[in-house]
Structure 1
Amino acid sequence: MIRIAAIIPAYNEEKSIAKVVRSIRKIQSSKFVIDAIVVNDSSNDNTSEIIHALPCIPLDLPINLGIGGAVQTGFIYAYENNYDYAIQVDGDGQHPSDQIEKLFLVIHSQFDVVIGSRFIENEGFQSTKLRRLGIKYFMLLNKVILNVKITDCTSGFRMINRKALKIVYDYYPDEYPEPESIVLFSLNNLRMVEVPVVMKQRQGGVSSINFVSSIYYMIKVTLAIFYTFIRIKFRRK
């Protein structure tokens, strides 16, 4: 039976994490089995206590590593424990667990990375206008430097196979992993594709990006993308 690790990074997600884990546990498929692996990124609320009482594999980080470090911790666990695929599912309840099988059917056919995009069919929660503008900018930036079009490069709802797991085991961007990893996957010649998904508004917690910080975020992510691009290109010489 094919095994999937659902990696759930969680920082102060006490209001939503139980619902996310239980929604994954409800998934029934004749094609795969799925385990919820919650990476508690040194939360200072009751996230740790909650996940230890849930039907999941809890991983408590002793210090806060940020989203990239938390997700990579889950990827490392998945690789070392011989999972066939890993999918990132945010702990705030935005990602639709009932569409995990859709991503699986696509990646199992011929791809290494499958990204759930809310902008292909423009259904469900579409984020703020300013954030949509930033996402479109990153789409164009990736098109210019990589000749790759990803409409929702900030989407964390993505599934990867063992080939991709080996890559992120060795290195994964820490601060802005979603847009930066597009560069990582592309330069390692992984086969990427997007599928349409319907996302929800976050069910709890607080977004790390607000109106005031959006422009600053775009500038920092742009620099991070170029850094990752140069780092990998230089390493491959």
Structure 2
Amino acid sequence: MPASLKHTLIVMPAFNEEASVEHVVREVLTALPGVTCLVVDDGSTDATAELARSAGAVVAQLPFNLGVGGAMRTGFKYALENGFHNVVQVDADGQHDPVEVAKILNGLDSADLVLGARFAGQGQYTARGPRRWAMVVLARLLSRTARVKLTDTTSGFRASGPRAVRLFAEHYPAEYLGDTIESLVIAARAQCVIAQVPVSMRPRAGGVPSHNPIKSAVFLARVGMAVVFAFIRPQVILHERRPLTDKVDS
């Protein structure tokens, strides 16, 4: 079994994803032989947990809906307690292609947190209106914070190495957009090395999109609040910095 998969935990937050979760779990386990897939059932009221378990996933069931941030913190804690070095977030709706996980994991050779970027020259994913404006502004702001050019700071397709796993197991934010925007700021201020690799996104395999045109109009205001919360949160200091020449056993 490749070391990159043996020591990697796929974490899949899922809220009422019975239409897609079984297929996505099977696809992950087929594309990544030997990997462990943890589905965090975030208070679903449908058959999400049962279908994920029948497909071969380990399932953690939360008693009520915490949001993606709360589900991911559960995943990071599970990884830390069970000896996994790396965590890769994969959505349960089928938009993230498991074949691209290897590419993101490879980025951990020189970074602590690697984003799968939708706007980095690969694929045809597009965003319009307020969502696109917010993404552009966020990319510019957070690129300065992370000291590296980032084009897709709201991507949930990302890999965390050992330092980031330890950090996020205790400090992963559960607030709205905390799992994307605020977590990046926390990692950057903790001196984690952040990078991105281009990926392609696919249409949802099932379920209902989390944003519609009306919600997108509110997105700008919520993004602003998320940025404020991110920068007023106390800085977390890790005890050691990653050496620039260090190689992570991913």
**Which residue matches 1:191?**
193
Structure 1 position 122, deviation (Å): 4.3
Q: Is the 8 A contact 1:125 1:201 kept in 2?
A: no
Identity of aligned residues (%): 34
For structure 1, which runs of at least 5 residues remain unmatched after alignment?
Answer: none
Distance 1:134 1:164, change over 3 A: same
Structure 1 position 52, deviation (Å): 2.4
Q: Is the 8 A contact 2:42 2:65 kept in 1?
A: yes
Q: Secondary structure at the match of 1:100?
A: helix
**Which residue matches 2:50?**
49
**Match for 1:25 among 29, 39, 43?**
29
Equivalence map 1:86-235=2 (5 Å): 86-107=87-108, 109-143=109-143, 147-174=147-174, 175-176=176-177, 177-233=179-235
Q: Is the 8 A contact 2:172 2:183 kept in 1?
A: yes
Q: Secondary structure at the match of 2:234?
A: helix
Q: Could you give the per-residue CA deviations for residues 114-133 of structure 1, whole angstroms, max 9, x where no partner exists?
A: 10001111413324454222
Whole-angstrom distance in 1 between the partners of 2:89 and 2:27: 14
Q: Could you give the per-residue CA deviations for residues 191-217 of structure 1, whole angstroms, max 9, x where no partner exists?
A: 110000011111111122221122322
Residue correspondences, number: 231
TM-score w.r.t. length of structure 2: 0.86
Please identify, of 5-14 and 51-60, the stretch whose mean Cα deviation from structure 2 is larger: 51-60
**Which residue matches 1:16?**
20
Q: Could you give the per-residue CA deviations for residues 83-123 of structure 1, whole angstroms, max 9, x where no partner exists?
A: 0110000111101100111111121x211011000111141
Whole-angstrom distance in 2 between the partners of 1:150 and 1:216: 23
Q: Secondary structure at the match of 1:226?
A: helix
Measured on the aligned residues, the alpha-carbon RMSD in Å equals 1.8
Whole-angstrom distance in 1 between the partners of 2:208 and 2:234: 33
Please identify, of 132-141 and 12-21, the stretch whose mean Cα deviation from structure 2 is larger: 132-141
Whole-angstrom distance in 1 between the partners of 2:43 and 2:203: 24
Distance 1:227 1:130, change over 3 A: closer
Q: Is the 8 A contact 1:12 1:44 kept in 2?
A: yes
Structure 1 position 221, deviation (Å): 2.1
